Amino acid sequence: MKRKKLIILAILIVALISAAFVYNYVFNGEHRNIAEEEVSIQIAAEEIFAEFQADETIATSKYLDKVVAITGEISLVETSALSLNDIIQVSFIEGTMPDVKLKNTVTVKGRCVGYDELLEMVKIDQASVITNIN
């Protein structure tokens, strides 16, 4: 009898723990780590920009939320962002801004979040620099 109670108790505990795990997985699931994801599209700054200018809807469905690697020349360096050829706005997660120099050609990896027609720039976030060609 005592043994039966123990088994029931054990089953209850296991059920509770797994429920907690499932809850945690569903409600506190981790965000994507873009820097560790594989690049799905490699492209030059001018090319991706031209695609968004030509047809934003098509380009959006092709690039939105995708991990891209874009190559271009650094045209502006800000606190936690940089621009490539004045047409790609690249932002870094706070505190992860790499040491880059103006006019350098770099390939940045990040998530494409869309086209900003006010700035006339394609926006990339959660970026990391993968190559720095001097």
The span of 10-18, 30-38, 43-51, 99-107 binding other proteins (CB under 8 A) equals 30-38
What tokens were used for 72? 């271009």
Question: What's the min distance (Å) between Cβ of 114 and other proteins?
Answer: 4
String of DSSP letters for 106-125:
EEEEEEEEEEETTTTEEEEE
The span of 5-13, 36-44, 56-64, 98-106 binding other proteins (CB under 8 A) equals 56-64
Contact criterion met (CB below 8 Å) for 70 and 45: yes
Q: Which is nearer to other proteins, 6 or 23 (CB)?
A: 23
Site membership for other proteins, residue 125 (CB under 8 A): yes
Grouping H, G, I as helix, E, B as strand and the rest as coil, residue 87 is coil
Question: What's the min distance (Å) between Cβ of 51 and other proteins?
Answer: 14
Contact criterion met (CB below 8 Å) for 120 and 84: no
Site membership for other proteins, residue 65 (CB under 8 A): yes
38 dihedral zone (left: phi>0; alpha: psi -120 to 50; beta): beta
Site membership for other proteins, residue 26 (CB under 8 A): yes
Tokens 């050829």 identify what position? 85
Site membership for other proteins, residue 64 (CB under 8 A): yes
Q: Which residues bind other proteins (CB under 8 A)?
A: 26-32, 60-61, 64-65, 78, 81, 89, 91, 111, 113-119, 123, 125
